[in-house]
Amino acid sequence: MKELQAKAGVLVEALPYLRRFAGRTVVIKYGGAAMTEERLKESVAQDLVLLKTVGLDPVVVHGGGPEITEAMRRQGKQPVFKDGLRVTDAETMAITEMVLVGKINTQITAAMNRLGRVAAGVSGKDGLLLEARRMRGKHDLGFVGEVVRVNTGILEALRDRGFIPVIAPVAMGADGESYNCNADLVAGAVAAALKAEKLVLMTDQPGLLRDLRDPDSLIPSVRASEVPGLKRRGIIDKGMLPKMEACLAALKAGVGKVHIIDGRVPHALLLEIFTDRGIGTEITGGRP
Amino acid sequence: MKELQAKAGVLVEALPYLRRFAGRTVVIKYGGAAMTEERLKESVAQDLVLLKTVGLDPVVVHGGGPEITEAMRRQGKQPVFKDGLRVTDAETMAITEMVLVGKINTQITAAMNRLGRVAAGVSGKDGLLLEARRMRGKHDLGFVGEVVRVNTGILEALRDRGFIPVIAPVAMGADGESYNCNADLVAGAVAAALKAEKLVLMTDQPGLLRDLRDPDSLIPSVRASEVPGLKRRGIIDKGMLPKMEACLAALKAGVGKVHIIDGRVPHALLLEIFTDRGIGTEITGGRP
Amino acid sequence: MKELQAKAGVLVEALPYLRRFAGRTVVIKYGGAAMTEERLKESVAQDLVLLKTVGLDPVVVHGGGPEITEAMRRQGKQPVFKDGLRVTDAETMAITEMVLVGKINTQITAAMNRLGRVAAGVSGKDGLLLEARRMRGKHDLGFVGEVVRVNTGILEALRDRGFIPVIAPVAMGADGESYNCNADLVAGAVAAALKAEKLVLMTDQPGLLRDLRDPDSLIPSVRASEVPGLKRRGIIDKGMLPKMEACLAALKAGVGKVHIIDGRVPHALLLEIFTDRGIGTEITGGRP
Amino acid sequence: MKELQAKAGVLVEALPYLRRFAGRTVVIKYGGAAMTEERLKESVAQDLVLLKTVGLDPVVVHGGGPEITEAMRRQGKQPVFKDGLRVTDAETMAITEMVLVGKINTQITAAMNRLGRVAAGVSGKDGLLLEARRMRGKHDLGFVGEVVRVNTGILEALRDRGFIPVIAPVAMGADGESYNCNADLVAGAVAAALKAEKLVLMTDQPGLLRDLRDPDSLIPSVRASEVPGLKRRGIIDKGMLPKMEACLAALKAGVGKVHIIDGRVPHALLLEIFTDRGIGTEITGGRP
Amino acid sequence: MKELQAKAGVLVEALPYLRRFAGRTVVIKYGGAAMTEERLKESVAQDLVLLKTVGLDPVVVHGGGPEITEAMRRQGKQPVFKDGLRVTDAETMAITEMVLVGKINTQITAAMNRLGRVAAGVSGKDGLLLEARRMRGKHDLGFVGEVVRVNTGILEALRDRGFIPVIAPVAMGADGESYNCNADLVAGAVAAALKAEKLVLMTDQPGLLRDLRDPDSLIPSVRASEVPGLKRRGIIDKGMLPKMEACLAALKAGVGKVHIIDGRVPHALLLEIFTDRGIGTEITGGRP
Amino acid sequence: MKELQAKAGVLVEALPYLRRFAGRTVVIKYGGAAMTEERLKESVAQDLVLLKTVGLDPVVVHGGGPEITEAMRRQGKQPVFKDGLRVTDAETMAITEMVLVGKINTQITAAMNRLGRVAAGVSGKDGLLLEARRMRGKHDLGFVGEVVRVNTGILEALRDRGFIPVIAPVAMGADGESYNCNADLVAGAVAAALKAEKLVLMTDQPGLLRDLRDPDSLIPSVRASEVPGLKRRGIIDKGMLPKMEACLAALKAGVGKVHIIDGRVPHALLLEIFTDRGIGTEITGGRP
């Protein structure tokens, strides 16, 4: 009985957070270890279903890099990267779409639906959710796209009937072709379009680190105006660049707060939302 | 961090119960020690606000015996009881109404509203929620009433806009007079009228006891059909009689389950709803 | 038959007023003789139920001074006033709340509910309708509050389901305590928050009098800009001061018109609304 | 002031009737002197607008005999009647429709719209409100129809947006032709289709008279089961026959009460609805 | 089968137009030969019902000149015109209203209702759809009006329930009198009030002609700014003047496009909406 | 112009069908040549978008046999069939899901979305649309399932916001595993659950043939009661068996009509719905 009461106490502690976030939309970029380790996958599914059940509106965007590479290799194709971006010819795009929509997306929704009739997978092409154009840059990367418009109709349809939308970052071009988009940037664009309360990016590090080799060098809070300086000093670099771009775009569009959290921590999502200090790095405040 | 994750684990454990009860109405008779001890009052308020916040629809009915007696004494009136029921002349009724509606009810709602804008007190006369007639019996008890009709309009109005209705058991007669009603019976009638999922009666004992002097003699589960036998054997007796009458009326009207719980246990309400076995005594099943 | 037709004629005469006010909100400060004399109480109840029935949305705020004093005396407490305001210690506040919410409010709603299932009492603490802070002034008056915020959710919930809200002027502080507020000012704040069509203050005089001793010195119409001058000349004085403050606050917030009427006249409310000239004093027009 | 209060008293007297009929549909057959005398036309318009304004839903069906005959004569056509029914060839039908829809109907709605934006004329052909077939009988009467179906969609569309539908009794046949229908029977069919609370037929006599020459021989109340006897004794005869048929059809379909009233009395409609005894003859009760 | 597939192909060709106009309002001035020749009347009815069925919202305004003149002659009245406008005394107005509302309007709706339960006739006086004042000019023309206000409530009521409103251009003055209004101008005012997507005026010529005697001199497209020049050069003249005035008023109020089409061509309406180039003359673009 | 009018005539011919099917649900099993030949794929996409645009509610279920086999072969796996059903081990199921959801489904929706923002792909696992259990039979076929429950929530969510749901026949078991289901049977179950107006099965033959080798031996209409006889005589055989089972299940659940049509004919869907005789074989009428 003592133990039961301690548990009741935990529920009661969550009350102020529950009340603060009731009916608010939280967009989550789901990726990294949290998407590959069984124990973490289960914990993320639980967190998402719990959030929906207690009255928040989570929207999930997932990535899928390693599995695409693996599927390509299995079909005898060698991935080519330029400046960290995958060169995507038509065949690669077909494999990418098949893996993202037909495999990773269905696994994520299935894990949630085992806990309740709650998740619905959507490709960015469904209901033209994501309209993209060929990415501009110094290299021609083929079917790599950047989002030019988000049509949120299908997300609202699902949300209003009690579903959590889980988005595969495949978009449709005005040319009718499929485009592969960066999942971080898709999450930012979706959060912006939905005027979400929060955008949460799950990574495989504790947050933004002053020194990547030192996990204790976490920067707990960053203002948008500090970002250019952090880039110049190389603290925001590589894979963190598109993440930060997504963060700034979301903040600019009116999203309240953005968080970069450590997806390797079980229940990281709940902890982020249901504790005062949050975990990882919080990015706040308007235009840089 | 370990501790935080343990807490997250508790939230996740609650998930199946949250999903099962989402959108369901639970009518709670609030009384006894839970209504007088500061620590318990706080714990009940937290439980009710939490239930509402995570998607259930609690409706509260409270009693008030001791405070009425005290207020009468303060005004120099001596309470008279016949067969355990207070003889209620016009002056006593005025004091009763003033204490129930103006003091006890406002204290209960205030405790909840300190946690959020969530509770709304209603007298049974508001919107003619409770229509009563003079109780029939061998003694004339004055303005003691029995409920003949429940008009749920005001409860629905409040529930649909996010409020927890807190009901003082004062009813209105066809003669335009106020009547004092037994709070257990009012709770049963309200649960029946709302076709509630559950009716929970808070008492100052662990539940229905085989032997009142032995707290370990709890009967965890009773079927409606067993009630007449338990009465004959004196196990259901005295104050438990109106409680059991309320239970049977509610079950007969289609309420799913009825629970008699120990209001002296902190967070008894949460424990009842968020654990498999529940606590106290559960009464189930149709007509006796 | 002739007499019946004359009556039909009266109904027809009301038609233009009915059409003009259909669906409009009218906030009424109810107090004075109209709240104590039996015949007037009945007439006010009829007027309010009639207004609701023909399509207006009346909202009532009542006072309660004399009964609070009487209840205090009965409990052996001596009221203390400073500058016309009651010094309100915790015990006085408890009595005040009990009398306002548990006695006066329930009597007003009961009178209306005898005519139909139509009225619902609310304390200003219900659903945090009235948020207050301790009144600032040269004396510490204890739990005397001034309204800092009106949360109209509960009023809309009741109105939309066909009920007339009847408000007891008890508010809740950020400190979780109860505060007694001036009913005129509460009526003004509620009218402002609801953007009411009209605010009507019932008094025990014919309206604003040029000379208090001469009932024929009624000023039928005052513009907001004239108020400072009338104060300087002592024509607006004493109990009329908070009334006028309520009027100006309401006008400033966009309420169409404010009326100070004679509550001692039977059916004063109907006469005010259903005749061209109105009765009493009308205050109009924007910021002073 | 005394006079004003007397008027207020009249309004208050109407309160119980207002509450009883709020939101109820009343179908009114409008005809006879009330449709030709200026003073009565004005009084009927006022009554209808008042009923709508205070919350009832009046639906009007009008006749038009004399004006049709006059229009035919003006165009050099001689009306022919068989068994009291007008033989209606194509040309007569064209004149009939033009007069009913283009003249009488527009005059009735205009009289109401001068009092507020409230009335909307409909032909029975609009939205196929009235579907008819050629009347069967011993004579071929041409385009005289009997209603076989009422499509209430257009009435609901108008009612829900605050309009009083005013129906000209022209129907459409499955052959695409226009048919002239008896207005009493149309009123009965519309009341039946709308499951109206009341059907009121306005006539040029005090109600059903035991002796047509003796206005004091009014039968105040008739049960449906008495009708066959009254017919046999010739008390129900001639023009009263279709009226009684309309009454019985409406009662059979679930209309609560039917009234035959004297349209020559100013405000007869209001008197019927807002007095206890009603006026004229009331027909009640189930199948004959 | 080949023929069937060709037909399917035609449906498919219409797809982009169907999607572009789904849910949009199109106001159509119906008049001229299309309203008098049997074959064209049938074709217009089909077009309108088809447009409604596939998701557009057509609203029709009809004229009626020749039939009014004929009806006047039949009653021995000689029409008088001044500057092309009919002098309209009270008797003429009565005939005009009877013919427009009772004959032409009912014929138009009947033709549509033979194809489905879809059309509803409205006089401009119904629900005060059209409020007018006496036309100002050098001659007193009697009851000739100009629209001063359009109350679209009744149109929305009908549209939202699946009906096509068909409007007779009779308006109501503040004096309670009926006024005859120019149907082109009514169509323009209605299109403006509804913020229609399109206004289409049906005429008896191919569109705006550079030379009235040369049907090949059609001007396919005119900008609003060119209109003054075209007037000066006499290309816009006589009956085209009120049409052009209606067009400009509609464009100014935000209507997207205006078309003057040849009503003598079967299915002219469908062709206008379901082909790229449209037919007749298109007028575009803002204030002149 | 003549040609344009002929086209308008085709649209008008479709009018009665448009009106009959407005707002009705049609479930389409999409498969065979219509899903592999470019020209037919385009024609099916056009037909579906057209049906949605003109007011019907199409719901699509697709199959995918050949592509799954091909994908398996590409990954070095040899398909095994028992009694015509694919033995589906875990790896085969993974490939099946990836191809059905990630490739075929996305191609079908993309073809439609090129014509408008209209299609949304759903796996049967999304929102637990399809709940299945392992198919019972003499062989263990692994993850081959039969539908035990259809949760239509997600279909209604999409339909009500203007989307065409396109369903991949992958279901979820109570064991949390994915199951491959026969697309014909899924279409039948979905039609039954939605109480669709029609179920249309696209095949690669003209319909049900008396002699498979003779395309002229089409049976245009079959009553459900005739099916057992046709099976005994071998006319319903092999691949036609599950199709007929789907048909009977749908009819039994209240679907109005079922059609087996030739998907090799361009615009077969439109022809079926927009012609009187329909094409292919129609199955009608209740329980066998």
Q: Chain B: nearest CA to A265, how far in angstroms? A: 9
Query: Do strands B178-180 and B145-150 pair parallel, antiparallel, or not at all (unpaired)?
Result: unpaired
Query: Which among F10, F22, F265 has CB closest to E7?
Result: F10
Q: Order of strands across the sheet with C25-30?
A: C119-123, C164-168, C57-62, C25-30, C198-203, C257-262, C281-284, C221-223
CB contact under 8 A, D53 and C19: yes
Judge whether residue D286 has pLDDT over 70. no
CB contact under 8 A, A153 and F176: no
Q: Which residues, in sequence order, are CB contacts of B233 under 8 Å at separation 6+?
A: none
| Pairs from A236-239 (Cβ < 8 Å, separation ≥ 24) | A236/A208, A238/A84, A239/A84
Q: Chain D: nearest CA to E107, how far in angstroms? A: 10
Query: Which among B102, B154, B172 has CB closest to C103?
Result: B102
Query: Which among C8, C18, C274 has CB closest to D54?
Result: C18
Query: What number is the average pLDDT over the span E54-59?
Result: 96
Residue percentage of chain A with pLDDT more than 70: 99
Are E183 and E31 contacting, i.e. CB atoms less than 8 angstroms apart? yes
Judge whether residue E7 has pLDDT over 90. no
Q: Based on the number of CB atoms within 10 Å of its own CB, is B102 exposed (0-12), middle (13-18) or buried (19 or more)?
A: buried
Are E132 and E146 contacting, i.e. CB atoms less than 8 angstroms apart? yes
Residue pLDDT, tens place only, D248-274: 999 999 999 999 999 999 999 999 988
CA distances from F34 to D181, F262, F266 (A): 56, 9, 8
B interface mutation test: which of C49, C74, C101 has the most B CBs within 10 A? C101
Residue percentage of chain F with pLDDT more than 90: 80
Are F60 and F231 contacting, i.e. CB atoms less than 8 angstroms apart? no
Within an 8 Å CB–CB cutoff, is residue A126 touching chain B? no
| Res. B286 pLDDT band, cuts 50 70 90 | low
Judge whether residue F169 has pLDDT over 80. yes
Residue pLDDT, tens place only, D67-98: 999 999 988 899 898 877 889 999 999 999 99
The nearest alpha carbon in chain F to A159 belongs to F157
Within an 8 Å CB–CB cutoff, is residue D2 touching chain E? no
Residues of C within 8 A of B94 (CB-CB) are: 103
pTM: 0.92
Query: Do strands E281-284 and E221-223 pair parallel, antiparallel, or not at all (unpaired)?
Result: parallel
CB contact under 8 A, B120 and C127: yes
D interface mutation test: which of E60, E70, E96, E128 has the most D CBs within 10 A? E128
Query: What number is the average pLDDT over the span D105-112?
Result: 97
Q: Chain C: nearest CA to B253, how far in angstroms? A: 24
CA distance D57 to D55: 7
How high is the pLDDT of residue A286?
Answer: 58
CB contact under 8 A, D4 and C55: no
CA distances from D163 to D40, D155, E104, E127 (A): 22, 9, 24, 7
E interface mutation test: which of F3, F12, F264 has the most E CBs within 10 A? F12
Judge whether residue C129 has pLDDT over 70. yes
Query: Is CATH 3.40.630.30 the classification given to domain F21-284?
Result: no
Residue percentage of chain B with pLDDT more than 70: 99
CA distance B136 to B139: 8
Helices (runs of H) and strands (runs of E) counted in chain B: 10, 14
CA distance B1 to A266: 10
Q: What is the ipTM of this complex?
A: 0.93
Q: Do chains B and E touch (3 or more CB pairs under 8 A)?
A: no
Q: Give the DSSP H/E element, type plus range, for residue F231.
A: helix F227-232
Residue pLDDT, tens place only, B126-151: 999 999 999 988 888 999 999 999 99
Are C95 and C77 contacting, i.e. CB atoms less than 8 angstroms apart? yes
Within an 8 Å CB–CB cutoff, is residue A110 touching chain B? no
How high is the pLDDT of residue D276?
Answer: 72
Query: Of the given ranges (B217-231, F5-19, F117-131), which has the lowest mean pLDDT?
Result: F5-19
Residues of E within 8 A of D101 (CB-CB) are: 101-102, 105-106, 121
Contacting chains of E (3 CB pairs or more, <8 Å) are: D, F
CB contact under 8 A, D274 and C53: no
Mean of pLDDT over chain A: 93
CB contact under 8 A, E117 and D97: no
Q: Name the residue with tokens 């069906």.
A: D61
C interface mutation test: which of B97, B117, B152, B180 has the most C CBs within 10 A? B117
Judge whether residue A287 has pLDDT over 60. no
Query: Which among E22, E115, E267 has CB closest to F8?
Result: E267
CB contact under 8 A, D15 and C46: yes
Are F287 and F224 contacting, i.e. CB atoms less than 8 angstroms apart? yes
CA distance A262 to A266: 9
CA atoms within 13 Å, Cβ hemisphere of A149 = 11
Note which residues in 23-82 of chain A have CB less than 8 A from chain F.
74-75
Nearest residue to A26 (alpha-carbon basis) of A198, A161, A152: A198
Phi, psi of E80 (to 5 degrees): -125, 130
Residue percentage of chain C with pLDDT more than 70: 99
CB contact under 8 A, D128 and E117: yes
Within an 8 Å CB–CB cutoff, is residue B110 touching chain A? no
Q: Chain E: nearest CA to D109, how far in angstroms? A: 7
Within an 8 Å CB–CB cutoff, is residue D272 touching chain C? no
Judge whether residue E286 has pLDDT over 80. no
Query: What number is the average pLDDT over the span E210-231?
Result: 92
3-state SS, residue A258: strand
Within an 8 Å CB–CB cutoff, is residue F92 touching chain A? no
Query: What number is the average pLDDT over the span B166-189?
Result: 97
Judge whether residue A54 has pLDDT over 90. yes
Residues of F within 8 A of A128 (CB-CB) are: 113, 117
| Res. C286 pLDDT band, cuts 50 70 90 | low
- D206 is written with which tokens? 């005090």
CB contact under 8 A, A123 and F121: yes
CB contact under 8 A, D15 and C50: yes
CA distance F242 to F239: 6
Are A98 and A124 contacting, i.e. CB atoms less than 8 angstroms apart? no
Query: What number is the average pLDDT over the span B78-100?
Result: 91
DSSP assignment of D158-190: HHHTT-EEEEE-EEEETTS-EEE--HHHHHHHH
Residue pLDDT, tens place only, C71-121: 999 888 998 888 778 899 999 999 999 999 999 999 999 999 999 999 999
Query: Of the given ranges (B11-15, B112-116, E37-41, E59-63), which has the lowest mean pLDDT?
Result: B11-15
| Res. B63 pLDDT band, cuts 50 70 90 | very high
Residue pLDDT, tens place only, C190-223: 999 999 999 999 999 999 999 988 989 999 999 9
Query: What number is the average pLDDT over the span D206-221?
Result: 92
Q: Chain D: nearest CA to E280, how far in angstroms? A: 32
Q: Chain B: nearest CA to C103, how far in angstroms? A: 5
CA distance A79 to A59: 30
CA distance C193 to F16: 54
CB contact under 8 A, D106 and E110: no
CA angle C23, C27, C29 (to 5 degrees): 155
CA distance F200 to C165: 57
Query: Do strands C119-123 and C164-168 pair parallel, antiparallel, or not at all (unpaired)?
Result: parallel
CB contact under 8 A, B15 and A267: no
